[in-house]
A = this chain, B = another copy of it.
Amino acid sequence: MKKGYIQVYIGDGKGKTTAAIGLTIRAIGAGLKVAFFQFFKTGSSSEVKILKSFYPKIYYKNFGKKGFIKDQINEKTKNKVLQGWEELKELVKSRTYNIIVLDEISFALDWGIIGLKEFLDFLKNKPEDLEIIITGRSAPQELIEIADLVTEMKKIKHYYEKGIKARKGIEK
């Protein structure tokens, strides 16, 4: 790609991580290479083995453990997220990938694990031809401003409200 953009997917509706997976699959179908970094997740979700099977077209790595509740975030999880952040910066320097997905990274901003200014500087200084995909529940205004594309996945209705739990192959 000549020029890479910054895409942000936020909101309370289903479809953010799945859209990032879909983008990854489309990209490799066009011969692009994708690094898929997943934060606060264990890598146990059903799609992960498929993504990994495309290595080295897709480089998948997860940093964190299950759960998105702030009080459950301990030092170990924080350190994993920070490890991911350091690896990410090295990865960008390698110029190996056309697209980098930062799944759920906005939680690291929300919870002050990665500093907002540092993250924005990272985006501002990204290689011109690198596309970055960011997902999470919400995004600070400064991130929305710097992004080239923002979609809000808005929950109109969700079966969780009926008490249906996450299902293998659908949510996990």
A interface residue numbers (CB < 8 A to B): 1, 5, 7, 9, 11, 13-23, 25-32, 45-51, 98, 131, 144, 147-159, 162, 164, 167-170, 172
Contact = CB atoms under 8 A, between A and B. Distances in A.
User: Chain A binding site: helix, strand, loop or mixed by DSSP?
Assistant: mixed
A125 B1 CA distance: 46
Q: Which of A98, A149, A164, A168 has the most CB of B within 10 A?
A: A149
A17 B14 CA distance: 13
7 contacts: A26-B47, A26-B170, A28-B50, A148-B157, A148-B159, A148-B162, A153-B153
**Identical subunits present:** 2
A17 B25 CA distance: 12
A54 to B, nearest CB: 8
A7 B17 contact: no
A51 B25 contact: yes
Contacts of A131: 170
A9 to B, nearest CB: 6
Contacts of A25: 21-22, 25, 47, 50-51
A104 to B, nearest CB: 14
B159 A150 contact: no
A33 to B, nearest CB: 10
Contacts of A26: 18, 21, 45-47, 50, 169-170, 172
A156 B9 CA distance: 10
A1 B167 CA distance: 8
A22 to B, nearest CB: 3
A147 B157 contact: yes
